[in-house]
Every structure is written in C-alpha cells, then in structure tokens.
Amino acid sequence: MPDYKRHGARYRARRRAVDILFEAETRDIDPVSILEDREQLSADPQNAVAPIAAYTRDIVCGAAEKLDDLDDALEQFLNRDWELHRLPAVDRQILRVATWEILFNEEVPAAIAIANALEMATEYSGNQAPPYIHAVLDGIVQAQSPDAPGVEPEPTLGDGSEDAPSASESPEPEFAVESENAEDAHA
C-alpha cells in the first residue's frame, strides 16, 4: 500500500486535481462546478469531505480554462495513429495536469511535474503508462526549451497498435529529478 504521508502538499493537490478532472470528464460536467461542490461540502464537518487545497483549485481552474491549449500540446507528441481520446481517461488527466504545470506554472520545475505525473501513472495505471507519459511530457518540455526554437515535435506514442510502448522504447530522461521537499520549499 502506498505511503501517502511521504508526499508533499503539492503532490496531494495534483492527485486531487486529477481525481476532479477525471470525475468531470466521466460525468461530462464542468470541473470547476465539481470543485465548487466539494468546497461547499467540505464546509460542513458532517460530510467528511476534505477541504480543497488552493493549489488543487489553481490546477483545476487553469486546466479547465486552458483545456484546448493543453490538448493541442499533448496531441503534438502522440503518434499520428493515436488520438488523445483513445488514451485511458486517467492517463489523459495526468497528462493534462502535468502539461498545465509545464506550460502555465513557472513556479514548478518541469522535472517535478513529470516525476509526479509518472508516480501517479504508476499508481493509477500500472507499468505501461509511465513510459509513454514520460515521452509525451519530455517532448513538451523540449519544445518549450529556448535552445530549440522551431523544433518540430516527433510522434512518440506507439506504432499505431492498441498497446502502449514498452519500457524499452521509452527515451532516457534528460533531466534531474528534484526531491518533493525541494518543490515544497517553493510553495
């Protein structure tokens, strides 16, 4: 069983944002309305609903506002035979949260966003998701690099088959993963 106490506040906020975005997509409703419902429910201690962290609110509202931009960025790094809607819903939400942090939150180093996304993918999706999630997010980071203007993204996901790529097809990370404590120091 995972030890959630070892995670910092931002990891827990990301995880809750993924949960809210997943629920919103599954129920086909606005994620901000789910967020507001949870905030109202958490005001009454009898409901046993945990309060919403400010960073969870930032992520959910930011992802909802920038959803088209996030999906466009993600689709650039999927193989042309794959489409975002074909990915498992939880993987899609993990990718959206991490992509929002990479593109729109300068306070979070990309390495932290990616490391947390990979940990959530392992927890929620198992062993097949982290390699392709890493490849897609690394492509987004590289495209954002000032050293690589005009770099055309290369498709990184699968060969068109129904299976995600194996770990042996995953690119080597090109960044140093910082610890969760270092990230929380920025909070």
Place of tokens 């770099």: 151
The pLDDT tens digits of the residues spanning 142-183 come to 998 766 544 444 444 444 433 443 333 333 333 333 334 444
106 phi, psi to nearest 5 deg: -70, -15
> What does the pLDDT read at residue 165?
39
Quick check: 95 and 137 in contact, CB under 8 A? yes
Give residue 128's domain range.
4-186
- pLDDT at residue 25, rounded to an integer: 96
Q: Is the pLDDT of residue 98 over 90?
A: yes
Q: Tell me the CATH number at 111.
A: 1.10.940.10
Separation in Å, CA 144 to CA 69, 88, 104, 156, 174: 14, 26, 11, 16, 14
Read off the pLDDT band of 84 (50, 70, 90).
Answer: confident
Select the more confidently predicted residue: 173 or 137: 137
Q: What is the pLDDT of residue 108?
A: 94
Give the total number of structural domains in the chain.
1
Q: Is the pLDDT of residue 83 over 60?
A: yes
Distance CA 124, CA 106 (A): 26
Q: What number is the average pLDDT over the span 64-76?
A: 95
Token output for 22: 């997943």
